[in-house]
Structure 1
Amino acid sequence: MKINKKHFYYFSIGFIGVILFIFLYNFRNIIWQVLPPLLWSILFAYLLNPIVNQISKYNIPRIWSVLIVYSFLIAIIFFMLFTLTPKISKEMGRLIDLIPIYSRQAGELMNRIYSKIDQIEYLPPEFIGVEEAITENLIRIQVYLVSFVKNITTSIFNVFTHLITLVLIPVFTFYFLKDASYFKKKIILLLPKSGRSSVIEIAKDIDLLISRFIRGQLIVAAAVGILSIAALLLIRIEFAFLIGFIAGVSNVIPYFGPIIGSIPGVIIALLDEPSKAIWVIIAFTIIQQIESAIISPKIVGESVGLHPIMVILVLIVGNMLYGIIGMLFAVPIAASVKIICHHIIERIVRS
């Protein structure tokens, strides 16, 4: 047997792979704690990197460009802390205080509906199935409302229990931005020379598509949030800032986002005054029409190139795997996979 450099290279790669797998398995609990802030830092660095690059073009050192961006973000955060955040915090505290009252009101509403359903018993036998269907769906709605309130409360407390993670994210993001070229060179050098140009070409296409989609969606979400707050204040709905914030954030999710964002507003309006719920539905419908017809085409531009059926399917899969976070990243990941498959097929055809 002849052992040349190629055999030694493959053996070394395999040996390092096995050692790395053993290391990751033994320290998997620690890695799962460190991984989330690291991934969020990479995402934020990816979103902020074009702004840093734009500032660096004016012969400003990169570290100063990063500090300028951080200063601007800190200014925005402080502005929100002194304007929007107090109102949202106040509304959140009031909502927590009113949850028992709203639960009682919801129970009374359900009892009134059940008393109306009892009258269905006097209908002909052919309509007995109608009573059973209505009763079953009402029970489902009741269970959904209880779980929805529980999930919101759990999410609020989870934010405070992960303060260390929140502190690490800006630190990691700073170094990723400052040393972006260093990390980029290291990643490129790790790629095999034979497929390096192809991988770089694929990465550029994914970057062009995903960056446009993510940044556009964030701008659209902010616009929807502001419009929602204005509409809810006009209708005089309680917790307008909190509901508007939820509507803006959920709008990042295609198709399902507008529905998720409108549910809290409709529920609060229904418990306050049933007629207001109709106005809330009309307001959210108009806002979504403005968003889909005017705002999104101008800001986001072309779609990610996925058929609506495929988008819905990947959103369902993302929700089943990782919940809301899975739905947020489902479309960009699916679009990236599509680009990779396209390049692979193109290369096979060429060869």
Structure 2
Amino acid sequence: MTQQHKQPAKETVEKELTYIQKVWHTVAIVALLVVVILIARVAFNVLLMVLAGVLVSVYFHGLGDMIQRKTKWSRRLSMSISVAGTFIILTVLFWFMGAKISKQITVLSDSLPQTVNTVKAKLSEYPLGDKVLSYLSDDNSDKLFATAKQFFNTSFGVLGNIYIIMFLAIFFTANPNLYKDGIIKLIPADRKEMGRCVIDRISTALKGWLKGMMLSMVLVFILIGVGLSIMSIPVALVLALLTGLLKLIPNFGSLAAMIPGVLLALTIGTNTAIIVALIYIVSQTIVSNIVTPLIQKKMIDLPPALTILSQVLMGTLSGVLGIILAVPLLAIVMILVDELYVKKIETESEALDVES
């Protein structure tokens, strides 16, 4: 009897120990998952900077290839001219246009309070405007500013991110084969050929996106600058430059760039504001119709809804840098899915059809 009583007691203790072990295992797994998520979020921002560095390197290589084709110079000389020439051109542009841009920014900042008061007076004349003003009360405006500040925060600050991205781009440009071969070495021997194919396809897609994006930014800058100058809108150069830069953010950038231009035009008159809004809309439509076919020749066709969802998700995770890089990152993901999954399924389906 004593042994019979001891046996169930021993089994009970073992069950309790097993249960406690399972609980601790679960807690450990959850804690490890939380740590991995936190590390992945920080590492994800670093990976985005690496992607930005790759895009800048793609630009340097594209310009170097063009110089080499036109001049028949050596690869090293063409790439040196590509990198040095880009920095020289940017320096010259800022040297000649910096004073005018700085002056217009000063005018814009000085006239901003008056502009806001004028816009409030204009909006208060309409019922819908009253609702907008009531929503943009002190509490709500503070929340909006806090959200915007958090949105534009980055891992190392704006200047720090630019510094890291430019150095990564220079390293990638100086010796791209080192990094490409390093990735290929991580792939199993029977998959190396497919790995090279995927890398080449991603490179082509990124070149297409970058070429189309740069062309659209220049065209938007010219069209908006000319249109606002004709309408005698103050600080037209700054507004055109802002519109060109915000073209980096598809869909949302165009809307954000239009707001300050329309607000300034509203201080002149309602009709002027309507014309300025039409200038923005028509310019963006023209650029989209010219540039979109160019992008789609080099990139896979991205569904618009999927593009917007990727921008919202990337903006939530990584702020403005995530939104800028959402489209090329989505293209990379879709290429990987197509090469590693879709084509494999199609090949297996064809093999089954042949056997049957």
How many Å apart are 1:229 and its aligned residue? 0.6
**Equivalent of residue 79 in structure 2, options 58, 66, 73:** 66
Q: Distance in 2 between matches of 1:331 and 1:30?
A: 20
**Structure 2: gaps of 5 or more residues:** 1-35, 349-356
Change (3 A) 1:78 1:152: farther
Higher RCO (C-alpha under 8 Å, 6+ residues apart): 2
Matched, 1:286 2:282: yes
Q: Is contact 2:45–2:318 with CA below 8 Å preserved after alignment? A: no
State which structure, 1 or 2, has the greater radius of gyration over its C-alpha atoms. 2
**Equivalent of residue 106 in structure 2, options 80, 84, 93:** 93
How many Å apart are 1:241 and its aligned residue? 1.0
How many Å apart are 1:248 and its aligned residue? 1.4
Change (3 A) 1:339 1:172: closer
Instruction: Please list the CA deviations of residues 4-46 of structure 1 after superposition, one character each: whole Å capped at 9, or x if unmatched.
Output: xxxxxxxxxxxxxxxxxxxx99999997997776554333112
| TM-score of the aligned structures, taking structure 2 as reference length | 0.72
Q: Is contact 1:247–1:261 with CA below 8 Å preserved after alignment? A: yes
How many Å apart are 1:51 and its aligned residue? 2.6
Instruction: Please list the CA deviations of residues 309-349 of structure 1 after superposition, one character each: whole Å capped at 9, or x if unmatched.
Output: 22232233233333332222222222222222222121133
Q: Distance in 2 between matches of 1:314 and 1:71?
A: 35
Q: Distance in 2 between matches of 1:178 and 1:88?
A: 33
Instruction: Please list the CA deviations of residues 103-140 of structure 1 after superposition, one character each: whole Å capped at 9, or x if unmatched.
Output: 33344445x43xx65xxxxxxxxxxxxxxx76544433
Q: Equivalent residue for 1:275?
A: 271
Q: Equivalent residue for 1:329?
A: 325
* Residue identity opposite 1:71 in structure 2: A
Matched, 1:227 2:223: yes
**Equivalent of residue 300 in structure 1, options 274, 295, 311:** 295
**Equivalent of residue 252 in structure 2, options 252, 256, 270:** 256
Change (3 A) 1:195 1:161: closer
**Equivalent of residue 237 in structure 1, options 233, 258, 261:** 233
Q: Distance in 2 between matches of 1:46 and 1:150?
A: 35
Change (3 A) 1:28 1:222: same
Change (3 A) 1:37 1:318: closer
Question: Aligned to 2:300, what secondary structure does the other structure show?
Answer: coil
How many Å apart are 1:263 and its aligned residue? 1.3
**Equivalent of residue 200 in structure 2, options 191, 198, 204:** 204
Q: Distance in 2 between matches of 1:25 and 1:319?
A: 17
Q: Is contact 1:220–1:299 with CA below 8 Å preserved after alignment? A: no
**Structure 1: gaps of 5 or more residues:** 1-23, 118-132
Count of residue pairs the alignment pairs up: 310
How many Å apart are 1:298 and its aligned residue? 5.8
**Equivalent of residue 177 in structure 1, options 162, 173, 178:** 173
Q: Equivalent residue for 2:62?
A: 50
Matched, 1:346 2:352: no
Change (3 A) 1:28 1:315: closer
Q: Distance in 1 between matches of 2:320 and 2:209?
A: 18
Instruction: Please list the CA deviations of residues 211-268 of structure 1 after superposition, one character each: whole Å capped at 9, or x if unmatched.
Output: 2022211111111111101110110101111111121122233333322221111011
Q: Equivalent residue for 1:3?
A: none
Q: Equivalent residue for 1:140?
A: 135
* Residue identity opposite 1:60 in structure 2: S
Q: Is contact 1:229–1:241 with CA below 8 Å preserved after alignment? A: yes
* Residue identity opposite 1:252 in structure 2: L
Matched, 1:314 2:310: yes
Matched, 1:41 2:53: yes
| TM-score of the aligned structures, taking structure 1 as reference length | 0.73
The 5-angstrom pairing of residues 60-139 of structure 1 reads 60-62=74-76, 64-110=77-123, 112-113=124-125, 117=127, 135-139=130-134
Q: Is contact 2:119–2:266 with CA below 8 Å preserved after alignment? A: no
Cα RMSD (Å) of the superposition? 3.9
* Residue identity opposite 2:55 in structure 1: L
Q: Equivalent residue for 1:120?
A: none
Q: Equivalent residue for 1:125?
A: none
Q: Equivalent residue for 1:15?
A: none
Q: Distance in 1 between matches of 2:280 and 2:120?
A: 26
How many Å apart are 1:300 and its aligned residue? 2.9
Q: Distance in 2 between matches of 1:309 and 1:35?
A: 24
